[in-house]
Amino acid sequence: MDNTLIDIMTYANPSVLADVDWLKANLGKSGIAIIEVDYDPKLAYEQGHIPGALLIDWRKDMNKPDERDIIGPEEFEKLMSRLGVSNDTHVILYGDYNNWFATFAFWVFEMYGHKKVQILNGGRKKWIDSGGELTKEVPTPRPAVYKVEKVNYANRVFLDELLREKVGKADLVLVDVRSPAEFTGEITAPPEYPNEHAQRGGHIPGAINIPWGQAIREDGTFKSAEELKQLYASKGVTPEKDVVTYCRIGERASVTWFVLKHLLGYPRVRVYDGSWTEWGNLVRFPIERQR
Amino acid sequence: MTSADDCIYPSDRLYLVEQDLWIKPLSDNVYRVGVVKPFLFFVGKPHKITVRQAGTLAKKNTMLAVLSNPRADAALLAPVDCYILETNQGLTPELLVKNPYEEGWLANIRVEEPLTKAVDSSAAAEKFAAINAERGVACLETLADYRFTVFGETCENILTQVGDFISRYLKVGESLHVITTDPATEVDMIAYAERTGHKLLEIKKIGKLLHVIYMRAV
């Protein structure tokens, strides 16, 4: 057994992760849908994906076209139906950009109450690096019936709630998971997404900076529970706090949310998916640059 | 062979279009393989190249090599089952970018079945032209450090965004590939370099798009 498997067992909720070796041994098994979630499918899924994997094109499939918001329950039902996923399907998500968008999708799957959904630990990178098979063949699933029973917003925080709570609650901690250069306002977006800027660079007053990547090893898998506990506790992000994570558009924030909520079992962790592209563009809102 | 998008495909070898690879026969069933130039413009400047280890078997459709940078881990796949006989020991991202057809080769392989889909350079040029158009790729002299696609309502707006990009991200000596369209004209783009002191390395109109490469000089 390699280290990754030992680590998985020490997490608060080990069932949220799928292991690359396990998946290699279980390819083609019925009842499992492997879905690649990409920001840039041309460079990723279309260049070769896990055999049998379906595609969620994050920009087109996870977001509403005419409103800045993630898809609603009805659109989610349609997406699942098109992908041949029913309420009982075991879904395994992985993707490009170190699983950022796959983890964002996981957060949406949980919001719409999907029962069994996992993240492939290490994502596309680990699969490729470990010599996993790839194909350019695109499967054509049979449409399935999917019903969202209940929408659960417990893991999401909107701007108005954030403002209300931030004023009144002492135990709220805001974790900015972007790079230090974004946190200090030197840049407003990574160069890979230059068209998605905010008017001002900086961070939400009072936020602390723990870049998302500090939770990840060189090979793309998550660090051990022990290392993660140490990382967040040393910065004052402890389980009794009410934690809100944010980044630029919410994708990296969902990685830190996943770590705190599921790998460490913190009871109250939410993603502020409006993130910096909302806050950094608001008129008459304070920002901070140094810290 | 040079295609309409200015990509070069040397005629002394064969091409596997679906895999973005060139192959050069060395002996029976043994080939030298490398990546075609437009693929580098598709992925962007690689920061790291991983080639499957010599002495191992690459099953069909598994990775021969991966080009990595902050945008992607782009896999190059084996066309058929093949053994990796030797890899290019001195290969660096710089060498690959400098000449992917010669010193930037990836590996020598022995194939387990014939490469029936290999085509010559003129057929390759035609097929890649369609793929490059779909990927929005054109070949230039320089593979820049960064790429920025920008469309504005006014030329001034485009140039403001280009200026922001250069001052935000580029260090002196680094280059930026700007892909834009009307209303920015070649004259405007040249005047911009003169005005700002940045060096204009290349300017080329391919299809409807204008490609410009600037190097930050100040």
Q: pLDDT in tens for each of the 291 residues of chain A?
A: 456 666 778 899 999 999 999 999 999 999 999 999 999 999 999 999 999 999 999 999 999 999 999 999 999 999 999 999 999 999 999 999 999 999 999 999 999 999 999 999 999 999 998 889 999 999 999 999 999 999 999 999 999 999 988 877 888 999 999 999 999 998 888 887 766 678 889 999 999 999 999 999 999 999 999 999 999 999 999 999 999 999 999 999 999 999 999 999 999 999 999 999 999 999 999 999 976
Q: Residue A64 belongs to a domain with what CATH number?
A: 3.40.250.10
A151 touches chain B (CB under 8 A): no
Number of other CB atoms surrounding residue A226 within 10 Å: 10
Assess whether A20 and A95 both reside in one domain.
yes
Is residue B27 predicted with pLDDT exceeding 70? yes
Minimum-distance CB partner of B63 among A43, A134, A194: A134
Chosen domain end from A90, A111, A129: A129
Residue B9 and residue B128 in contact, taking contact as beta carbons nearer than 8 Å: yes
Asked if A250 contacts A212 with a C-beta cutoff of 8 angstroms, the reply is no
Flag if A133 and B135 touch (Cβ within 8 Å).
no
Full domain range(s) for residue A67: 3-129
Q: Is residue A257 one of the residues assigned to a domain? A: yes
Identify the DSSP state of A263.
I
Question: Does residue A94 share a domain with residue A50?
Answer: yes
A231 and A186 in one domain? yes
Specify the domain boundaries for CATH 2.40.50.100 within chain B.
14-135
DSSP three-state, residue A98: helix
Residue A113 lies in a domain: yes
Q: Is residue A30 part of a domain?
A: yes
Scan residues 147-166 of B and list those with Cβ closer than 8 Å to A: 148-150, 165
Say whether both A178 and A120 belong to one domain: no
Domain closes at, from A90, A108, A129: A129
Q: Which of A96, A134, A190 sits opposite B77 (nearest CB)?
A: A134
Residue A209 and residue A102 share a domain: no
Quick check: A14 contacting B, CB < 8 Å?
no
Q: By CA distance, what is A45's nearest residue in B?
A: B74
Instruction: Report which of A122, A103, A120 is spatially closest to residue A33, judged by C-alpha positions.
Output: A120
**Which CATH number is associated with domain B14-135?**
2.40.50.100
Q: What are the beta bridge partners of residue B65?
A: B51, B76
Residue at A124 is within a domain: yes
CB atoms B70 and A190 under 8 Å: yes
For residue A181, being part of any structural domain is answered with yes
Q: Is residue A130 within 8 Å of A73, Cβ to Cβ?
A: no
User: Could you tell me which CATH class the domain B146-215 is placed in?
Assistant: alpha beta
Tell whether ipTM is more than 0.85.
no
A47 and A118 share a domain?
yes
Please tell me the total count of domains within chain A.
2
Residue A291 contacts by C-beta under 8 Å, 6 or more apart in sequence? A183, A184, A203, A208, A209
Q: Which two tokens stand for residue B1?
A: 């062979």
Dihedral sign for Cα atoms in the order B170, B175, B177, B182: positive
Whether A124 and A163 map to the same domain: the answer is: no
Is residue A28 included in any domain, yes or no?
A: yes
CA of residue A121 relative to chain centroid, distance:
12
Q: Where in chain B is the domain with CATH 3.30.110.40?
A: 146-215
Cα end-to-end distance, chain B, whole Å: 38
Looking at the structure, tell me whether residues A36 and A87 fall in a common domain: yes
Looking from the CA of A124 toward its CB, the CA atoms found within 13 Å total 35
